Each structure stands twice: as C-alpha cells, then as structure tokens.
Amino acid sequence: MEYNQQKIQFEGKESKNPFAFHYYDPEKVVAGRKMKDHLKFAMSYWHTINASGTDMFGGDTMDKTFGEPYGIERFKKKADFAFDLMQKLGIEYYCFHDVDVAPEGETLAESVKNLEIITDYLLQKQQETGIKLLWATANMFGDKKYMAGAGTSCVADVFAMAAGKVKAGIDAAIKLGASGYVFWGGREGYDTLLNTNMGLELDNLARLLTMARDYGRAKGFTGDFYIEPKPKEPTKHQYDFDVATCANFLRKYNLMDDFRMNIEANHATLAGHTFQHELRTARVNGIFGSIDANQGDMLLGWDTDQFPTNVYDTTLCMYEVLKAGGFTNGGLNFDAKARRQSNTYEDILLSYIAGMDAFALGLLKADALIADGRLDAFVEERYASYKKGIGKSIVEGKETLESLAAYAANLTNIQVPSGRQEYLETLVNDILFS
Ligand code: XUL
Ligand code: CO
C-alpha cells in the first residue's frame, strides 16, 4: 500500500493541485462552528479498505489483500492503512461492519473472538490518533444463511445467529466509544409475497431491534441506534423502504426514542425521492440522525455508491442539516467507492478529496442561502395566512369542521399566490454560482 502523498492541505479554490482541498478548510468557522465539526466526515471501511473493483461481470481491479492470506495479520495491515489514510485526509471518524475489520471464523464464537482481537488493535490506533468510531454495524446479508433475511428470516436459528452478531457488534461499538449503531436491512424484506408471512417478519424485525436497544442501553450505550432506509437491492422489497416507512415502523413498535435515521443519498433516489426529501422527512419527524454520503447515477437503476460531487445536492443536504441544528451523534459517512477504473491508491485520495470538497462547498452555499434569507422568507410568507385570523385559529386547534364550514360557507374569490418555482430555482443558481 505504497503512495507518497503527504497530509492533504487546504490550498483554496485557486489551487490547481489535485492533492489539496480547494474548499474544505477544517478549522474555518462557518455559521458558528468549525467546518470539520459541521461535516464530521467519516471513512467507510467496506468500500475504502475492502472493495476491490469487482462487479457482476468482472473481478478485482485493485489488490486489497495487503500481501497477507485471509486472517488476523491481513486485517491488522488493513487497519494500519485505514488510519494512515484517515490521517492523510484529516478524517476524524470511521464506520464499519463486523466483517470489514476482522476475519470471519467457522462459528459465531470464533468470529467474535477475532473481532475482539481486532477491536483491541483498533482501540489502540484510536488512542494514538484521536480518530473515533462514528458507528458500527453487523453484516447480516452476505452469508448464505441470511438469504431469506436475518431478523426477518423464516428460520429461527438464523434469527438467533443475527442476534449474536448484533450483540457482538454493540459490544464492539461500546468498547470503541462509537456514537452510533446502524441497522441496514439489505435482506430484511421479500422477493415474493407468495412465500412470505409479512406480519410475523415485521414483528420479528422489531423484536431484534428492541433486544438490541435493551441490551445496548443496559450496557451503557448512550449513542443513537439508526435504521438506514433503502427500498430495494439486494431484496426486491425492503421493509426499511424509505424514511416515512421507517418512521411508521418505529412508531408502531415504540422505538422512536432510541432510533434515528441514517440517510443515504443513493438510497433516497432508488426510492424515487430526492436526497433532500428524505432528510426533510426525517427532520419533520424528529428522527434526523446521520448521513451516508454518496450519489447514484440517474441513468442507472442501482446503488452505484459514487463519491458525491453534485454541489446542488450537497448544498440542499447541508441546508437540511443546518436547519436540523447540525449533527449530534451522527456525521457524514462516505458510503462511496472510487469507480472500478479509478483503481490506483491515488484515486482513493482523489475521490475522498472530491467528496469532502463537494460537501464543504455545499456547506458554504447552504450557509449563504440561509444568510441571504430570500428563500426562507418566501416560504414564511407563503404560509402567512396561518399566522393570523382563521389560519392562526386552525393551527392553535381552536376550530372544528362545523366552525370552519360556517366560516367558509360564503367565501368567494379565494386567491392562491404563485409558487414561483422558477424564480426560486434561479435564486438558488445565483447563490451557487456567485
Ligand atoms: C448498502 C449500504 C450499507 C450500509 C451499512 O446499500 O448502504 O453499506 O450503509 O450496512
Ligand atoms: Co449506506
């Protein structure tokens, strides 16, 4: 894993140096906080340290074996590389699945033992560098026993194995001081209702999440539990379809106090929503938590996990984050990988620089949009009728169907003002390109 880059520095937007930040200036204060504290960038272990360019039609284009056979030594070398990379980029957080950081054993007990060895090693690295674990999760979708789901499997022994994995994952999260624990239900769903007991599967998924919450809290875990919504892929229909679906699930099973959303941009678009829609839905439901930062390709119908470079999207994302009051336990995890043809170690650095700069610029533009004030003022004014008269009375809960029927009985000539969409889009362009 040789490359000779030094620590990546901020050089400003005039710089032509590809190995420099042009917008991300970690210590710069924007909207009352340092950029690095607004953005809380995290490295995804699975893509960055493990993914090797394989796709459905071809094998590896990058070697990430670190010259070692599958075993503890390889994973120690991966950890060395990971922490070196994060230090070069100035990334202060990371995220992993259990199987990303430690080799899997023949049994659950063996895998847990391996995870304990590696988490000792990771803890030492965290202490040396000050880098923190944003969240951990368990991979409950790769192994063939999870083909019909984990918490939603038709086989109770699989549910038990999943519970054991979640326990080990939460233990690792606590040991490493993580501020989050994620559930992404890649196979928690169905391919056909013809073979599926949907009611039992949903109840069982809630049972697993409730056990996790109870275990974590009993062991002193004070961070957030997250569901990461995704509508499909690999399963045809996933139960964590989108934020609204998850909010309904959490409310039904009384999990709203402990669970929040980890929102991924590419998952939002697969669900037929914008990234901003998912963030807004979480915000208005009080369950905004963390972000998996990436982008899809609108011409491809799958989860391509590309590094985010679309500044329009990062701006509207950071607008929602600022409006939500910023991250607390969450952060911006790059659930993103360099393209299969971007297969050098420099490309890993360049792709992180691209994503970090796109979000830094998005933060600056979101702050500018809010400071400009015209967008917020327009929306405020659009709903002004609820600030006075009958509207105020409706909002305050003072009206009934009968009272409103009487009020409306003889109303004529009601005027609904223009929504001015095109003007507002131009306003956003003016801020983006000024
Ligand atoms: C899959 C995905 C996962 C989760 C964690 O689409 O996003 O990597 O982020 O399991
Ligand atoms: Co993700």
Q: Is residue 187 located within the same domain as residue 266? A: yes
Whether the Cβ atoms of residue 311 and residue 431 lie closer than 8 Å to each other:
no
What confidence tier does 3 reach under pLDDT thresholds 50, 70, 90?
A: low
* Ligand 1 neighbourhood includes 98 CB (under 6 angstroms): no
Q: Is residue 334 located within the same domain as residue 420? A: no
Q: Provide the pLDDT for residue 4.
A: 62
Q: What is the domain extent for residue 188?
A: 28-372
* Ligand 1 neighbourhood includes 335 CB (under 6 angstroms): yes
- What pLDDT digit, counting tens, does each position of 25-43 carry? 999 999 999 999 999 999 9
Question: Total structural domains in the chain?
Answer: 2
- How many other CB atoms are there within 10 angstroms of residue 215's CB atom? 15
Q: Provide the pLDDT for residue 262.
A: 99
Ligand 1 atom having least distance to the Cα of 97: 10
345-372 and 421-432 are packed helices; what angle lies between their axes, rounded to 10 degrees?
Answer: 120
Whether the Cβ atoms of residue 15 and residue 97 lie closer than 8 Å to each other:
no
Q: Is residue 249 located within the same domain as residue 296? A: yes
DSSP 8-state symbol, 161: H
Peptide bond between residue 234 and the one before it cis (omega within 30 degrees of 0): yes
Residue 171 CA to residue 180 CA, distance in Å, equals 12
Q: Is the model's pLDDT at 1 over the cut of 50?
A: no
Q: Provide the pLDDT for residue 247.
A: 98
Residue located nearest, by CA, to atom 5 of ligand 1: 184
Q: Is residue 314 located within the same domain as residue 398? A: no
Mean pLDDT of 273-286: 98
Mean pLDDT of 351-368: 98
* Ligand 1 neighbourhood includes 290 CB (under 6 angstroms): no
Q: Is residue 321 located within the same domain as residue 201? A: yes
Whether the Cβ atoms of residue 89 and residue 349 lie closer than 8 Å to each other:
yes
- What pLDDT digit, counting tens, does each position of 307-341 carry? 999 999 999 999 999 999 999 999 999 999 999 99
243-252 and 198-218 are packed helices; what angle lies between their axes, rounded to 10 degrees?
Answer: 70
Q: Is the model's pLDDT at 106 over the cut of 60?
A: yes
Residue 261 CA to residue 241 CA, distance in Å, equals 12
Model pTM score: 0.97
Q: Is residue 398 located within the same domain as residue 258? A: no
Residue 178 has, within 13 A of its CA and on its CB side, a CA count of: 27
Residue 259 CA to residue 403 CA, distance in Å, equals 39
What confidence tier does 5 reach under pLDDT thresholds 50, 70, 90?
A: confident
Mean pLDDT of 353-369: 98
Q: Is residue 288 located within the same domain as residue 411? A: no
φ and ψ of 281, to 5 deg: -65, -40
**Selection from 49, 13, 46 nearest residue 348 by Cα:** 49
CATH of the domain at 215: 3.20.20.150
Is 16 contained in some domain? no
Q: Among 100, 146, 230, 294, which is best to mutate for testing ligand 1, by the most ligand atoms less than 8 A from CB? A: 230
Residues with CB under 5 A from ligand 2 (ion): 264, 292, 335
Which-ligand-closest: CA of 270?
A: 1
Query: Which residue type does 292 have?
Result: D
Burial 385-415 (b: 16+ CB within 10 A, else e): eeeeebeeeeeeeebeeeeeeeeeeeeeeee
Locus of tokens 């984990």: 150
Helix (H, G, I), strand (E, B) or coil at 262: strand
Is 349 contained in some domain? yes
- What pLDDT digit, counting tens, does each position of 179-204 carry? 999 999 999 999 999 999 999 999 99
* Ligand 1 neighbourhood includes 137 CB (under 6 angstroms): yes
Tokens of 31: 């909207």
Which residues, in sequence order, are CB contacts of 147 under 8 Å at separation 6+?
187
Q: Is residue 429 located within the same domain as residue 309? A: no
Is 19 contained in some domain? no
| Cα 10 from chain centre | 25
The larger pLDDT score, comparing residue 382 to residue 4, is at 382
Q: Is residue 262 located within the same domain as residue 407? A: no
Mean pLDDT of 423-434: 97
Distance 292 CA to ligand 2 centre (A): 5
φ and ψ of 220, to 5 deg: 90, 15
Q: Is the model's pLDDT at 152 over the cut of 50?
A: yes
Is 21 contained in some domain? no
Q: Is residue 418 located within the same domain as residue 367? A: no
Q: Is residue 407 located within the same domain as residue 259? A: no
Distance 185 CA to ligand 1 centre (A): 9
Mean pLDDT of 228-245: 98
Is 72 contained in some domain? yes
**Selection from 32, 87, 46, 25 nearest residue 292 by Cα:** 46
Distance 239 CA to ligand 2 centre (A): 15
Is 386 contained in some domain? no
Distance 73 CA to ligand 1 centre (A): 26
* Ligand 1 neighbourhood includes 278 CB (under 6 angstroms): no
Q: Is the model's pLDDT at 2 over the cut of 60?
A: no
Distance 367 CA to ligand 1 centre (A): 29
Locus of tokens 């989860």: 303
Residue located nearest, by CA, to atom 7 of ligand 1: 335
Last residue within a domain, chosen from 341, 372, 403 = 372
Q: Is residue 151 located within the same domain as residue 229? A: yes
